[in-house]
Amino acid sequence: MKIKKEMIVLALVIIALSAYLALRRTDRTHYALPEIPPVDKKQISRLEISKAGHSAVLVREEDRWLLEDGHYPVEPAKADRMLDEVSGLTLTALVSESQSYERYGLDPAEALEIRAWAGKTLARSFAVGRTASTFRHTFVRLADDPKVYHAGGNMRGLFDSSPSELRDKTVLSFDPEQIHSIRIAEKEKAVFLERRPPDEAGKEASKNRDEASDGFGAKKDAWVDASGQPVSQEKTNRLISGLSRLQCDHFLENRKKEAYGDPVIEITLEGSESYALYVFDKNQEGYPAATSMSPYPFVLNDSWLNSLKTDILELGKPDAPETPATKNDAG
CATH (domain of 284):
3.30.1490
How many structural domains comprise the chain?
2
pLDDT of residue 306: 86
pLDDT of residue 317: 62
pLDDT of residue 302: 85
Write down which residue in 166, 194, 213 finishes a domain.
166
- Higher pLDDT pick, 80 / 162: 80
| Model pLDDT for residues 191-221, shown as the tens digit of each residue | 999 999 876 655 544 444 444 444 434 457 8
Residues 154, 47 within the same domain: yes
Residue 329 pLDDT greater than 90, yes or no: no
Asked if residue 230 lies in contact with residue 204, where contact means CB atoms within 8 angstroms, the answer is yes
Write down which residue in 166, 187, 207 finishes a domain.
166
3-to-8, 9, 49 alpha-carbon distances in Å: 9, 10, 71
pLDDT of residue 9: 59
CATH number at residue 85: 2.60.40
pLDDT of residue 255: 82
Asked if residue 71 lies in contact with residue 62, where contact means CB atoms within 8 angstroms, the answer is no
**Is residue 93 situated within a structural domain?**
yes
Residues 265, 141 within the same domain: no
**Is residue 311 situated within a structural domain?**
yes
Instruction: Output b/e per residue, 162-201; b: 16+ Cβ within 10 A.
Output: ebeebbbbbbbebeeeebeebbbbbeeeebebbbbeeeeb
Domain that holds residue 278: 170-319
pLDDT of residue 328: 43
- How many C-alpha atoms does 75 have within 13 Å on its Cβ side? 18
Residues 90, 177 within the same domain: no
Average pLDDT, the chain: 83
**Is residue 36 situated within a structural domain?**
no
SS3 206: helix
Residues 60, 97 within the same domain: yes
**Interatomic CA distance for residues 49 and 163, integer angstroms:** 10
Write down which residue in 137, 166, 195 finishes a domain.
166
